[in-house]
Copies of this chain bind each other. A is one copy, B any other.
């Protein structure tokens, strides 16, 4: 928590952030971009201080026996910091997500309806011990006109405090109030935050599946995120097996810890005898541990898969395999065990692909390509705020547009509803203006 807000309660901090965010909502794109420029500048100027604070975090974490991958995420050296500062400048060049008009309609003469995109208000973002995430999130929040209350992983506390202090200081000389960016540092504060429906408009939790699930189940505030990433690849009887093999290897091994990596391979029995030995061979080559259901065990030597396997996100070089009798069985399996993230079919039969893409209930349904493409940058969104496995939009990889909502603006010249009702009701024109 920064010095100024040290004695404030979470509710008071949230109230203050909301107030500042309301003013931010009225600023121009230029004003918001100027604030981002000031932040980039300040981070560059004070980079030594940042690196020093991060060193203290790293040393503490090392003493506490942090794992190497987590240490690498925590560490914020000169190169990573410079790349992140460049990232802030890139955000300046993204299109303004605010003020987009999606409906522009004359209801009657001089009575105009517009649907205009606007900021959500205040975001609550809980992220892992990765200090540069704080910088990325803050720049996307300001770009989209939102206030942001941040809570970083415990191990990064000192780094986060230093970054927020520098960002707030940089904002003093801009039109954006320093109050739009706030830091929480304890778990108890998160608990309180989850109850502040009145002040917080969206929670974005990042981190372990259990953590995201905890957040989803303990707040009435909208949550953008995904607890699990149980993705499937179904290899149809009409699949080109060369493509199928290469996609399987890519979707499993290119980054096994990613949420868009596959956990289960579904294989049509008509091609199982030819395809499964190829996969067994690749598994040896890429060091993938395979687990198969009974039918699969008829074709290759493989450890038995249990019911638990279909529900597991391994996040590792492990792949469960189920041999299915039909496209329908594959779809049914995915709809029961999938996490509605991304599922793919390999098939040269367009009709089967169409049925799969219609009936599989997931944010991403793919045909003849790797599930690993499910990503905001790969989709060309410029930035990724998160991946949502919710049913309602925003769904799937979410760019800046996930941080905005819309308002209906109606402008008249003294128009009243009575004119348009009753026996002599005037009809609406409902003419789209653009």
- Contact residues of A with B, CB < 8 Å? 22-23, 25-26, 103, 105, 107, 111, 113, 118, 120-121, 201-202, 216-217, 220, 222, 240, 242-243, 246-247, 249-251, 254-255, 335, 353, 355, 357-359, 361-370, 372-374, 378-380, 390-393, 395-397, 405-418, 420-421, 428, 430
In the bound complex, residues from chain B placing their C-beta under 8 Å from that of A405 are: 391-393, 395
In the bound complex, residues from chain B placing their C-beta under 8 Å from that of A357 are: 407, 409
Q: A357-B409, A395-B406 given. 18 additional CB < 8 A pairs?
A: A25-B358, A26-B359, A111-B369, A251-B416, A254-B421, A255-B417, A353-B411, A364-B407, A365-B409, A366-B410, A367-B410, A369-B416, A370-B416, A372-B416, A373-B410, A373-B417, A392-B405, A393-B406
Whether the Cβ atoms of B395 and A121 lie closer than 8 Å is no
How far does the Cβ of A22 sit from chain B's closest Cβ, in whole Å?
5
In the bound complex, residues from chain B placing their C-beta under 8 Å from that of A417 are: 250-251, 254-255, 370, 372-373, 378
How far does the Cβ of A275 sit from chain B's closest Cβ, in whole Å?
15
Within 8 Å by CB of A411, from B220, B368, B370, B430, lies B368
Nearest B residue to A242, CB-CB: B414
A-B contact pairs, 21 of them (CB 8 A): A23-B359, A107-B379, A111-B373, A120-B391, A201-B392, A202-B391, A202-B392, A242-B414, A247-B416, A249-B416, A250-B416, A254-B416, A254-B418, A254-B421, A364-B410, A369-B414, A369-B415, A374-B408, A392-B392, A393-B406, A395-B408
Most interface-central of A111, A217, A414, A418 (chain B CB within 10 A): A414
Whether the Cβ atoms of A121 and B367 lie closer than 8 Å is no
How far does the Cβ of A431 sit from chain B's closest Cβ, in whole Å?
9
Taking A254-B421, A359-B22 as contacts, is the C-beta distance between A107 and B410 under 8 angstroms?
A: no
In the bound complex, residues from chain B placing their C-beta under 8 Å from that of A118 are: 358
Report, nearest first, the 7 A-B pairs whose CB atoms are least far apart.
A369-B412, A372-B417, A243-B414, A250-B416, A380-B430, A369-B415, A26-B358
Within 8 Å by CB of A367, from B220, B406, B411, B428, lies B411
Instruction: Give the docked Cα–Cα distance between A113 and B254 (Å).
Output: 21
How far does the Cβ of A39 sit from chain B's closest Cβ, in whole Å?
23
Within 8 Å by CB of A373, from B353, B397, B415, lies B415
Instruction: Give the docked Cα–Cα distance between A370 and B393 (Å).
Output: 30
Within 8 Å by CB of A392, from B113, B120, B247, B361, lies B120
Instruction: Give the docked Cα–Cα distance between A363 and B115 (Å).
Output: 10
Whether the Cβ atoms of B370 and A415 lie closer than 8 Å is yes
Whether the Cβ atoms of A408 and B391 lie closer than 8 Å is no
Instruction: Give the docked Cα–Cα distance between A26 and B353 (Å).
Output: 12
Whether the Cβ atoms of A366 and B26 lie closer than 8 Å is no
In the bound complex, residues from chain B placing their C-beta under 8 Å from that of A380 are: 105, 107, 113, 428, 430
Nearest B residue to A21, CB-CB: B361
Nearest B residue to A116, CB-CB: B357
In the bound complex, residues from chain B placing their C-beta under 8 Å from that of A369 are: 111, 410-416
In the bound complex, residues from chain B placing their C-beta under 8 Å from that of A25 are: 358-359
